[in-house]
Amino acid sequence: MNMVSSMPYFGYGSNLDEDDWVRFCAKKGFDSSGMVEIGVAFLTGYEMKFHYFSSGRHGGAADVVRSDSNSEVPGALFMLNDEAWRAMDIKEGHPNYYERKQVTVRTPDGDIDAITYMVVADKIREDYQQPTSEYEALIRNGLLRRDLPTTALDKALQ
């Protein structure tokens, strides 16, 4: 196991929806049980954007970008086994659409390093990419189920 795969994964978008993950894994022949939730976390100094068009999602897909220090993106931390990392790389289109990035997230127990996925530079569009209502619901429901704020999502949707 390499160092990256021993770090937790920070999910902020559709991966907050367990059913979406289970459906993806079943479709691609992966065991979905390799992704285990640890708890909530916040990516501070970032904001959510919809500036990437996902043909698979038929609309905008979430990304996180550096912002002022007061902004933060809520999400969840997960531990992934090697198979789950392989599945996540495929789900996120790594390295052609999203790439793995090491970030520091704030948790109730303090700051920790994690891996998240960010849209690669040449896939970012200048203008807002409207997500489908189904995709928005995956994120919103994942946040609400964890009692997390939807402010970053609401702001990104404007």
Q: Which two three-digit tokens encode residue 70?
A: 């007061």
**Which one, of 123, 138, 133, lies nearest residue 157 by Cα?**
133
| pTM attached to this predicted model | 0.94
Q: Are 138 and 20 in contact (CB under 8 A)?
A: yes
Give me the domains of the chain, ranges plus CATH numbers: 3-148 (3.10.490.10)
pLDDT in tens, 77-115: 999 999 999 999 999 999 999 999 999 999 999 999 999
